[in-house]
Amino acid sequence: MIKKKFLKSKPVCQTTFELAKETVTPEKKVFLVGDFNDWDKASTQMKPKKNGTFGVTLDLETGKEYQFRYLLGEDRWLNDEEADKYVASPFGEENSVISL
């Protein structure tokens, strides 16, 4: 699930990314990886919540599109079903895209 909260005071959108417990199981570590963090696999770890979902909120600049994917564990990649669109990646798969 993706939630967007546009700020009136500056050109930023507080963007929350969440994955359901059923999607993540049995992984213990989940990361949000995208062009907003230079595709660094370890820089944006999602936090587990009491209800079993994993989530993270980022302040992203508005007026841009961002490609991203989720990394579950060491090597399980996943797109977001609620992405604004999908684009081909250089690795033969698709990346999720969020438009702000």
Find how far residue 41's CA is from the centre of its chain. Answer: 12
Q: Which residues pair with 5 in a beta bridge?
A: 14
Per the model's pLDDT, the better-predicted residue between 27 and 87 turns out to be: 87
> What's the CATH fold of domain 2-99?
Immunoglobulin-like (2.60.40)
Q: Are 11 and 62 within 8 A, CB to CB?
A: yes
For residue 21, give the H/E element and its range: helix 21-24
- pLDDT at position 34 is 97
pLDDT of residue 40: 95
Looking at residue 92, its pLDDT comes to 86
Give dist(CA 62, CA 53) in Å, integer: 26
Domain ranges of the chain: 2-99
Q: Could you tell me the pLDDT band of residue 52, with boundaries at 50, 70 and 90?
A: confident
pLDDT for 57-66, tens place per residue? Answer: 999 999 999 9
With CA atoms as reference, report the closest residue to 20 among 43, 49, 58.
49
